[in-house]
Amino acid sequence: MPDASVTNPLRIAVLGGRSWIANAAVIPAIEGCASAVLAGLGSRSGPVTYDDVLADPAVEAVYVALPNGMHLEWVERAAAAGKHVLCEKPLAATSAEVEQMAAACDAAGVLLAEAYMTPFHPRSIEIARLLAAEDLGDVRHAEAAFTFPLVDDANYRWMPSQGGGALLDVGIYCLSPVLAAFGGLPDEVIASAVMAPSGVDATTSIRLAWSAHATASIVTSFELPERQSLHVAGTAGALAVERPFTPGPHDTTFTITRPNGSVETHETAGGNCYEAMIDAFADAVRGRAAWPRPTSEVLAVTGLCEMIAAAASTPRGATP
């Protein structure tokens, strides 16, 4: 029997066909997967508009690669057109918008998925498995950093109206594994932010605490030198991984240091996490498997970003 993903590939079109991430990663992933086929490119000023894409009966799903501030409108419009939606992260700037998008897609009977690709990489899958299995014992502390200099002053990520800022742009990468390590939202949030002239955060530094004597420190930035790191320390081991958030085919190792000082080097397969994400999206639309990241997880990260932003805007010692 032929593979159903080959004989019936999901027809995905792109809203935001000139987006950098769409052209650098997601469109090549769609073209590289047997489970999907590129069904169109909609651009704001091109010959094929967003509305043209949504009106095309051959298009089954859309990848929304638009600036954050445009996600709500076009997710709702895609749902109204009966299209399944894979929307670039962050899905929304607020929990209320996430819930609004989810409600629109539920009412239309279409899938809503956030295009957060990191969890689909084999190394990320193995790290998540070890954390779920409590291989590190009782986790006491985690550190995560995602920083890089965003030198293009005209980039939409500097614009408040487009949901810009370092926390919203890269916070999901740092916060998602930390929440997984501790099993839920923190009891205390302390944060400070360096604001850019445009009014978004250029750097946000965060301290989180849980009642079970557990803490985390996180930094996200558009002005610090490039750095990606994740460290999770528990009573039975300390996990360390470099370049954890944008892994590629050659990112296959991480280490665990045990209490006796021994260092384990764990080796996994490499892979293209964008292609794996597209395969998972096609499988979920076709009913072959459930989409692995439910809306509740998106809401947890979005809600925590809101808590962090509120803490960063509150003078130290004041009650938010």
Question: So what's the pLDDT on residue 281?
Answer: 98
CATH number at residue 218: 3.30.360.10
Domain shared by 190 and 98, yes or no: no
Does a structural domain hold residue 297?
no
The β-bridge relationship of strands 139-147 and 227-234 is antiparallel
Question: So what's the pLDDT on residue 1?
Answer: 45
Domain shared by 131 and 111, yes or no: no
pTM (global) more than 0.75: yes
Tally the domains of the chain: 2
Question: So what's the pLDDT on residue 3?
Answer: 64
Q: Is the alpha carbon torsion for 27, 31, 36, 41 positive or negative?
A: positive
Domain shared by 156 and 256, yes or no: yes
Does a structural domain hold residue 92?
yes
Domain shared by 87 and 143, yes or no: no
Domain shared by 238 and 136, yes or no: yes
Domain shared by 59 and 195, yes or no: no
CATH number at residue 63: 3.40.50.720
Each of the 320 residues of the chain gets a pLDDT tens digit; together they read 456 566 799 999 999 999 999 999 999 999 999 999 999 999 988 899 999 999 999 999 999 999 999 999 999 999 999 999 999 999 999 999 999 999 999 999 999 999 999 999 999 999 999 999 999 999 999 999 999 999 999 999 999 999 999 999 999 999 999 999 999 999 999 999 999 999 999 999 999 999 988 999 999 999 999 999 999 999 999 999 999 999 999 999 999 999 999 999 999 999 999 999 999 999 999 999 999 999 999 999 999 999 999 999 976 544 44
Of 176, 119, 186, the C-alpha closest to 146 is 176
Give the domain extent around 280: 4-118+276-289
Of 14, 11, 114, 118, the C-alpha closest to 68 is 114
Cα separation of 219 and 146, whole Å? 7
Domain shared by 308 and 186, yes or no: yes
**Catalytic site residues?**
89
Question: So what's the pLDDT on residue 315?
Answer: 62
Does a structural domain hold residue 65?
yes
Helices and strands counted in the chain (H then E): 10, 13
